[in-house]
Amino acid sequence: MLKGIHPAISPTLLKVLAEMGHGDELVLADAHFPGHQLHHQVLRADGVDIATLLEGISQLIELDQYVDTPLIMMQVVEGDTLDPSVERRYVSAIQQNITEKLNLTRIDRFSFYERAKQAFAVVITGETAKYGNIIIKKGVTPVKD
């Protein structure tokens, strides 16, 4: 256990976060996401919900400030319903550590899968919320004077 690191952040996830560069994307996927089919670098965080991981991750990295939307979620499929509390939970978890206004966009399911293929890594979580997947784009850590 490391001091100052959220207990939900595994050593493997910590390593991945440290290896990511500016503009790299990380997929935090629900328990049903086809991560192993889409990507070669898949981490497991079974039993951990995405809001908890976002709280821990946002303590460690900056979101990309050079793009309009560093947070991407999946759009609801026509005829399905979206639970707005999922997005609220995620934004609330991130805002515990990041004070900037958070811009989030939604893209259709298959565009999300294509984007996931290009991500740095995919983390399969214990999240069960429908449309609970999110992609986060890493930014630049500011230099302290």
Structural domains in the chain, sorted by start: 17-138 (3.40.1650.10)
**What is the rounded distance in angstroms from the CA atom of residue 69 to the CA atom of residue 102?**
8
Mean predicted lDDT score pLDDT of the chain: 95
| Banded model confidence at residue 99, pLDDT cuts 50, 70, 90 | confident
Q: Is residue 16 scored above 90 in pLDDT?
A: yes
**What is the rounded distance in angstroms from the CA atom of residue 36 to the CA atom of residue 123?**
10
Output the pLDDT for position 101: 82
What's the rounded mean pLDDT across residues 60-85? Answer: 94
Residue 81 has, within 13 A of its CA and on its CB side, a CA count of 3
What's the rounded mean pLDDT across residues 43-52? Answer: 97
Tokens of residue 56, six digits:
């821990």
Catalytic residue among 22, 32, 36, 40: 22
Confirm whether 22 is a catalytic residue.
yes
Amino acid found at 100: E
**What is the rounded distance in angstroms from the CA atom of residue 8 to the CA atom of residue 47?**
10
pLDDT digits (tens, 9 = 90+) for 83-93: 999 999 999 99
